[in-house]
DNA sequence: GGTCTGCGAGAGAGCGCTCTCTCAGTCTCT
DNA sequence: AGAGACTGAGAGAGCGCTCTCTCGCAGACC
């Protein structure tokens, strides 16, 4: 009997017995409720120490209906799991989320939603009470995930505006403004024969960058911009640049919708003996690690990913704290990071 | 009354009432226990559908003492949080862990342990029953984290061998063998004046790569290898390479203990007009994204990070399934990825 | 001195689930 | 046909915590 008691992890009851008070009083002390006699409080505190008591999270959650966890759902096109996590983007988002949550003593649980089953599982995870809400990082167009969460009535916030209209809060970047920054830089350098390597046509972010670039270039007196679509990979950047060089050998400025495509373009330009930035100026988007490592170092449009992720988290926590608070969307401003390529 | 019932999320009790059976029977059906009459089973299944029942995770955990969650603790030197998550390494580990867990319907909760408080919080997180065990990714020497988990009696597995001996399971890479792969490649190319850019002296991985390289080179008839220490950043690679060129202008082969330092070296070699690989052959370590993007593409020693992470997870799950199973350590073999730089 | 007020501690009812124990009913064997 | 074995469903006791409600007691007031 004593042996059993010694082996079991101590409960409130054990602490109460050790301190000679009731379970309720120990609970009050543990939860920092003020209306406890100081001498009793210290007796309880001591009993907690000696017993090595630690509150049971499940029991608390059962009563409180709060898990202290949020689901961080990474949604990729089906079957793209491995590739997803290699993207430094993901790491930066995670970092921003963790940083914001930790000060609130909350933690993110990571989920991958790359199939119908996985999406359902993600929703059920929250419905079962494993998490209080969800942060959705959707990387492809027409992702059904946001709608699933809305339908289930789960508090959720999206990273990047949904491709199809969904009543959900989100954070996003001013993609058009970012592309305009790149356009102005190219124009300032005197580029007249410019092109852009755009992203997939079904992604709002890609389209924003494209139209923003075109519009800003037009404002700067360059009405025609050559456009080739890529899919955000280095290889697609290589293909696109090859095509652009064929179509316009006298090209003198290129804006790629992300850094990886820019690096692909850089390689092709180098192979064709075009010097960057002297003959062709090149600007990327994202300010990712590879941009810093490229030779020449890539001038690029930076998005404050960590900050955006932190804000996304803050919005979710607000919604959890005051249900029915209404939707919020925040659009962040990009910045041009000048390096060597333009 | 009816209104209240309609608003509440349905419980086992509700399903039981709807199906005209007992709570226990519904529980049996939900948990797939075979000894249930087929007709009753289908009645219960229908009741589950109509009520929209979903099991409450906290209630289950309270009884089962299983949360279905593991803590994935990323431990960095104090205050290094932001940098940590930008490291693609972290993403790959996460990917491997998530992939392995998901098929077991478990999920990782992410924690950052970059201060004493955070380390304690990580341990308490598991002690409270929020997670069943922990996966520790320790990136710096003398990290107290593994010992903390061992002391708390928490099932845990480490990524990379602990710098100080701790009785804990781990997965690691055969760093010496990996470095030998690089040495052999350089020797095969006929390099005679070789150097290595090593990692921090207090990291077992860094030392393994260093000694492995030296030993293999000696075997190949190159007894002297110049050594400069870096700290795994691109900048330290640049500094190291600059120093190496000063000390030995006739250098013809370099092995860097990771890709980022190799990329730093690449930049310095380029600036000094040394062609890679013709004049100087260069090999990195990790096979990270930047290695693929570098110009010339980096020949590098690849570690199967995702696979290692998956195995780490598997070991933890084994320990959870059969407590007292004893320690396991698995060492993975690296592979040389031949690209352009050597 | 008796009644009222207010403060702080205890009692006890759940939260939703699992699982053992019990028991009714059926099957099998002699 | 009766006894024993077995099968499958129900009853009910928790798991560890929170929180409302109750109640004892000390101080204040008339």
User: How does pLDDT run across A45-64, given as a tens digit for each residue?
Assistant: 999 999 999 999 999 999 99
* Residue A41 domain flag: yes
Q: Is the domain of A181 the same as that of A270?
A: yes
To probe the interface with B, which of A57, A72, A73, A273 has the most B CB atoms within 10 Å?
A57
- Nearest chain A Cα distance for residue B164, angstroms: 27
Domain end marker among A36, A64, A92: A64
Q: What DSSP assignment string belongs to A195-251?
A: EEEE--TT-HHHHHHHHHHHHHHHHTT----EEEE--SSHHHHHHHHHHHHHH-TT-
- For A237, the closest chain B residue by CA position comes to B293
Tokens of B284: 């990195």
Q: Is the domain of A123 the same as that of A224?
A: no
- For B152, the closest chain A residue by CA position comes to A52
Q: Which of residues 36-65 of A touch B (CB under 8 A)?
A: 54-59, 61-62
Per residue in B287-301, is it b (16+ CB within 10 Å) or e — as a string? bbbbbbbbbbebbbb
**A110 contact B CB<8A:** yes
Angle at A82 between CA A76 and CA A87, to 5 degrees: 75
CB contact under 8 A, B129 and A91: no
- pLDDT (tens digit, 9 = 90+) per residue, A184-232? 999 999 999 999 999 999 888 999 999 999 999 999 999 999 999 999 9
Chain C nucleotides covered by protein, CB below 7 Å: 7-12, 14-20
C-beta of residue B180 within 8 angstroms of C-beta of residue B215: yes
- Nearest chain B Cα distance for residue A211, angstroms: 28
- Nearest chain B Cα distance for residue A229, angstroms: 20
Compute the average pLDDT of residues A105-125.
Answer: 94
Measured from the CB, is A17 under 7 Å from any atom of strand D? Answer: no
- pLDDT (tens digit, 9 = 90+) per residue, A276-312? 999 999 999 999 889 999 999 999 999 999 999 999 9
Q: Is the domain of A79 the same as that of A167?
A: yes
C-beta of residue B108 within 8 angstroms of C-beta of residue B69: yes
* Residue B194 domain flag: yes
Residues 22-81 of chain B within 7 A of strand D, judged by CB, are: 22-25, 28, 35-37, 40, 59, 62-63
With a CB cutoff of 8 Å and minimum separation 6, the contacts of B25 are B16, B19, B36, B40, B44
* Residue B342 domain flag: no
How many helices (H) does chain B have, and how many strands (E)?
Answer: 15, 12
Protein footprint of strand C, defined by Cβ closer than 7 Å to any strand atom: A 20-25, 28, 35-37, 40, 59, 62-63; B 8-9, 11-13, 23-24, 27, 30-31, 53, 55-56, 59-60, 62-64
Q: Is the domain of B181 the same as that of B245?
A: yes
Distance A30 CA to C10 C1' (A): 17
Q: Is the domain of B179 the same as that of B276?
A: yes
* Residue B140 domain flag: yes
Q: Which residues on adjacent β-strands are paired with residue B226?
A: B195
Domain end marker among B24, B44, B64: B64
**A263 contact B CB<8A:** yes
Q: What letter would DSSP give residue A75? A: E
Distance A63 CA to C5 C1' (A): 33
Q: Is the domain of A131 the same as that of A244?
A: no
Residue B5 banded pLDDT, cuts 50, 70, 90 = very low
- For A271, the closest chain B residue by CA position comes to B295
Measured from the CB, is A37 under 7 Å from any atom of strand D? Answer: no
Per residue in B125-154, is it b (16+ CB within 10 Å) or e — as a string? bbbbbbbbbbbbbbbbbebebbebbeeeeb
* Residue B118 domain flag: yes
Q: Is the domain of B85 the same as that of B112?
A: yes
Q: How far apart are CA A189 and CA A173, in angstroms?
A: 25
CATH number of the domain that A248 lies in? 3.40.50.2300
- pLDDT at residue number A38: 86
Chain centroid to Cα B246, Å, comes to 37
Q: Which residues of B touch A95 (CB under 8 A)?
A: 81-82, 84-86
* Residue A339 domain flag: no
C-beta of residue A183 within 8 angstroms of C-beta of residue A213: yes
Q: Is the domain of B195 the same as that of B297?
A: yes
State the average pLDDT for chain B. 92
Closest nucleotide (C1' vs CA) to A11 is D16
Nearest CB neighbour to A86, from listed B85, B121, B289:
B289
- pLDDT (tens digit, 9 = 90+) per residue, A118-170? 999 999 999 999 999 999 997 677 889 999 999 999 999 999 998 888 999 99
Q: Is the domain of A283 the same as that of A185?
A: yes
CB contact under 8 A, A267 and B295: yes
- pLDDT at residue number A235: 95
The percent of residues in chain B predicted with pLDDT above 90, rounded, is 78
Q: Is the domain of A142 the same as that of A198?
A: no
* Residue B254 domain flag: yes
Q: Is the domain of B93 the same as that of B111?
A: yes
Tokens of A223: 């009405």
Taking 90 as the threshold, does the pLDDT of residue B3 lie above it?
Answer: no
Q: Is the domain of B196 the same as that of B225?
A: yes
With a CB cutoff of 8 Å and minimum separation 6, the contacts of B65 are B129
Measured from the CB, is A5 under 7 Å from any atom of strand D? Answer: no
Count: domains in chain B = 3
Chain D nucleotides covered by protein, CB below 7 Å: 7-12, 14-20
Compute the average pLDDT of residues B189-196.
Answer: 95
CA-atom Rg of chain B in angstroms: 26
Matching residue, tokens 């970012």: A178
CB contact under 8 A, B62 and A58: yes
Q: How far apart are CA A49 and CA A45, in angstroms?
A: 6
With a CB cutoff of 8 Å and minimum separation 6, the contacts of A54 are A9, A10, B124, B127, B128
- pLDDT at residue number A86: 77
**B327 contact A CB<8A:** no
Residue B216 banded pLDDT, cuts 50, 70, 90 = very high
Residue A7 banded pLDDT, cuts 50, 70, 90 = low
* Residue B339 domain flag: no
Tokens of B116: 């004493």
Domain range for residue A159?
69-173+306-334
CATH number of the domain that B17 lies in? 1.10.260.40
Least confident of A312-316, B40-44, B144-148, B169-173: B40-44
């Amino acid at each position: 009997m004593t042996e059993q008691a010694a082996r079991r992890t101590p409960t409130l009851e054990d602490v109460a017995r050790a301190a000679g008070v009731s379970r309720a009083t120990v609970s009050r002390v543990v939860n920092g409720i003020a209306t406890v006699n100081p001498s009793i409080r210290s007796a309880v505190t001591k009993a907690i120490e000696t017993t090595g008591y630690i509150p049971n999270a499940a029991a608390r959650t059962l009563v409180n209906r709060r898990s202290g966890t949020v689901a961080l759902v990474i949604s990729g096109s089906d079957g793209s799991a491995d590739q997803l996590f290699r993207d430094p983007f993901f790491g930066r988002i995670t970092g921003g989320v963790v940083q914001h949550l930790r000060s609130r003593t909350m933690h993110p649980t990571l989920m991958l939603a790359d199939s119908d089953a996985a999406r359902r599982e993600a929703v059920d995870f929250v419905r079962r009470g494993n998490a209080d809400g969800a942060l959705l990082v959707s990387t492809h167009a027409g992702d059904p995930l946001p709608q699933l969460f809305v339908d289930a009535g789960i508090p959720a916030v999206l990273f990047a505006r949904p491709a199809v209209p969904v009543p959900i809060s989100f954070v996003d970047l001013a993609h058009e403004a970012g592309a305009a920054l790149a356009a102005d830089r190219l124009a300032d350098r005197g580029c007249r024969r410019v092109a852009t390597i755009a992203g997939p046509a079904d992604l709002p972010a890609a389209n924003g960058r494209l139209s923003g670039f075109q519009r800003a270039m037009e404002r700067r007196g360059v009405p025609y911009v050559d456009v080739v679509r890529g899919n955000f990979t280095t290889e697609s950047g290589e293909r696109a640049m090859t095509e652009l060089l064929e179509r316009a050998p006298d090209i003198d400025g290129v804006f790629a919708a992300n850094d990886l495509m820019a690096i692909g373009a850089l390689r092709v330009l180098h192979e064709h003996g075009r010097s960057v930035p002297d003959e062709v100026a090149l600007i990327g988007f994202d300010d990712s690690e590879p941009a810093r490592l490229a030779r020449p170092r890539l001038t690029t449009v930076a998005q404050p990913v960590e900050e955006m992720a932190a804000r996304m988290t803050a919005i979710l926590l607000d919604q959890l704290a005051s249900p029915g608070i209404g939707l919020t969307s925040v659009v962040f401003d990009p910045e041009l990071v000048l390096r060597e390529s333009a």
